[in-house]
Amino acid sequence: MKLLVTGGAGFIGSNFIHYWIQKYPNDKIVNLDALTYAGNLENLKSIESNPNYKFIKGDIGNLEVNKKLLKEEGINVIVNFAAESHNGRAMIEPDIFVKTNVLGTQMLLEAARLVGIDRFHHISTCEVFGDLGLDEDRSFKESDPYTPKTPYNASKASANHEVMAYFHTFKLPITISHCANNYGPYQFPEKVIPRFITNALQDQELPLFKSSQNKREWLHTSEHASAIDLIIHKGKPGEAYNIGNGTEKSVEEIADAVLSRLGKPKTLKTYVEDRPGHDRRYLLDTTKIQKELGWKPEIDFEKGLDEIVQWYINNEAWWRPLLGKGFVENYKKL
């Protein structure tokens, strides 16, 4: 198999590449990444000399480059991670999110249609469905309507519509996955779990939105990769699959868990104004992927968090140069 992984220098994309190369060492992987602020080739330094791995700097929004790359590299599977994904930044520069997440995805789809591939897998998010009440007794199904509340969420929902349109109109063999919040190694330190860990390691305040009881479902990025693997090999074209593990934790619980593991005082927690459109809760119904493809989550969150805290302790040389890079501080202390 010859895969094009877009956005492969980012957090989830780079972890997926590590997973795939380890499991399928004879497959070829081309990583196309524009190296915007969250793209980091240090994530892939350990495999840069692997003859079956190749990095190309480029933008998925360039149709001619996409077509040329697909032809010259003989790509038969595309895994599209490329996206702008920061809700705070989307409030400041919403046009960039439309350009990359919607128009960029469409240009990649068009190249795939013109050249011809076996599978186009698109990475989406639970956030396209909007949010749930904190005590609501349900979870999002793949068939639920999209009700996004932020420019980022809306751009991802729009991209999903484009992907599905290429299946229905052009019979392009696509699949989509909606994932829960990921955590794991190489996550950019602006995100909540690495932000809390790196701040605590420096004895700095952990900023919590005032709605700190808002919940998220937490999925280890290696579990995400294993689910994508199954979808690519066994998923039905034209279908979407939810990927989550049912583990819900509030932001407050995450902060307390990090502080406890690092032996830091709870007085490091500080409360700040909410961002606009701050969703209350996400939870995915994963019945479909478990029943149809046989996938199931296997990493206990508490053990996974132990592992990640230790990873950031051991890899200060990786995260320290990234501090402040691309951060969006749009809150005030209460």
**If DSSP states are collapsed to H, E and C, what string results for the chain?**
CEEEEECCCCHHHHHHHHHHHHHCCCCEEEEEECCCCCCCHHHHHHHCCCCCEEEEECCCCCHHHHHHHHHHHCCCEEEECCCCCCHHHHHHCHHHHHHHHHHHHHHHHHHHHHHCCCEEEEEEEHHHHCCCCCCCCCCECCCCCCCCCCHHHHHHHHHHHHHHHHHHHHCCCEEEEEECEEECCCCCCCCHHHHHHHHHHCCCCEEEECCCCCEEEEEEHHHHHHHHHHHHHHCCCCEEEEECCCCEEEHHHHHHHHHHHHCCCHHHEEEECCCCCCCCECCECCHHHHHHHCCCCCCCHHHHHHHHHHHHHHCHHHHHHHCCCCCCCCCCEC
pLDDT tens digit sequence for 135-182: 888 899 999 999 998 888 999 999 999 999 999 999 999 999 999 999
Model confidence at 87, pLDDT cuts 50, 70, 90, reads low
pLDDT tens digit sequence for 181-198: 999 999 999 889 999 999
Task: Give the residue with greater pLDDT, 216 vs 287.
Answer: 287
| Cβ atoms 214, 178 nearer than 8 A | no
Among the residue ranges 1-15, 125-139, 269-283, the one predicted with the least confidence is 269-283
Tokens of 229: 């693997």
Q: Which domains does the chain have, with CATH numbers?
A: 2-182+218-243 (3.40.50.720)
Short-list 265, 296, 248, CA closest to 131? 248
Question: How high is the pLDDT of residue 216?
Answer: 86
3-state SS class at 75? coil
Model confidence at 211, pLDDT cuts 50, 70, 90, reads low
Once rounded to an integer, what is the mean pLDDT over residues 94-111?
Answer: 90
Measure the CA–CA gap between 204 and 198, rounded to whole angstroms.
8
Question: How high is the pLDDT of residue 65?
Answer: 94
Answer yes or no: is pLDDT of 328 > 60: no
pTM equals: 0.93
| Cβ atoms 35, 3 nearer than 8 A | no
Residue 154 CA: distances (Å) to CA of 49, 85, 160, 168: 38, 11, 10, 21
